[in-house]
Amino acid sequence: MASLKDLKTRITSVKSTQKITKAKQMVAAAKLRRAEERATEARPYTERMESVLANLASGAEGNPNAPRLLAGTGKDETHLLIVGTADKGLCGGFNSSIVRLAREHIVKLQGEGKKVKIITVGRKGNDQLKRLYGDLIVWKTNFVDVKQVGFAQAHEIAEKVLTMFKDEEFDVATLFYGKFVNVVTQEPTPQQIIPAIAPEGAETPDLKGAVYDYEPDEAEILRALLPRYVAVQIFRALLENVASEQAASMSAMDNATRNAGEMIDKLNLQYNRARQAQITTELIEIIAGAEAL
């Protein structure tokens, strides 16, 4: 049985941990509000771009001059996976769930005989994937020194991806990130961004019978729009990741704080029982000594 001194030390240690987890929870809660606002504000723009893409793409079907970002390379041999995670831990299973989804996709593609390349966005994803798939990682980046993730970071990643596609280093690119639903739920989400396809459920604008003539033509507009579409989708994924990370961190630290409180209660009970047992033993020894005299 632990001594009174050991129990006192453990209680002090757990109380210190509880203070840290409580502070981390409050910081995450403060950051979550702004991160959620940014993610929510970006959704209408990306959804409208998806609907415009769906409308233009429907008109470009079968067009031999359609941009390669829309039509693809005509092959399905090499896949690029862009895995977005957080740079820091202490956010529950947020990072692991995204990496797990990416791993399942890798196993599936390799089982079909496809070649896989990986770009990791976020230090935690890189740390987990390099253990098994380090030879597949062709580029990595993180935002440890960035105060606030912005479009500049998304544009840098998009430029790298577009350059690789131009150099015919892959045929299909899929983006993995954590979609923010609410404080409790963050959904690991895959999204194909090259060749560009409108996500399921994307609304096509209701033209109410109107017919539009595009100047320049649809193919020319798509050539200018598609590179920006890739950057916007990556930017949206980064914002969703930031909001999801803070929500997951707040929930994880809340659980840790409550668990620490329960542990403190149990340790205090053990301490009081041990102290009472020690006092009782000392009283018995005193009484027995007095009776012996």
What's the CATH code of the domain at 194? 3.40.1380.10
How many Å apart are CA 106 and CA 118, to the nearest integer?
Answer: 9
> How many C-beta atoms lie closer than 10 Å to residue 2's C-beta?
13
DSSP-assigned beta bridge partners for residue 120: 83, 140
Structure tokens at 263: 């542990």
Residue in the block written with tokens 């062709």: 138
Catalytic-labelled residue, pool 91, 98, 102, 250? 91
Return the ∠ at Cα 151 (arms to 181 and 96), rounded to 5°. 45
Least confident of 58-67, 99-108, 233-242: 58-67
Structure tokens at 109: 């593609």
Does 169 lie in the same domain as 57? yes
Asked if the structure places residue 27 within a domain, the reply is: no
Asked if the structure places residue 106 within a domain, the reply is: yes
Q: For 159-176, how does the pLDDT look when each residue is reduced to its tens digit (9 = 90+)? A: 999 999 999 999 999 999
Q: Is the pLDDT of residue 1 over 90?
A: no
Asked if the structure places residue 49 within a domain, the reply is: yes
Torsions phi, psi for 170 (to 5 deg): -155, 165
Helix 4-60 with 218-292: angle, nearest 10 deg: 170
Amino acid at 255: N
Which helix (H) or strand (E) segment is 124 a member of?
helix 123-133
Can you give the pLDDT at residue 212?
61
Can you give the pLDDT at residue 202?
56
Among this protein's residues, is 18 annotated catalytic?
Answer: no
pTM recorded for the entire structure: 0.83
Domain carrying residue 141? 38-204+214-249
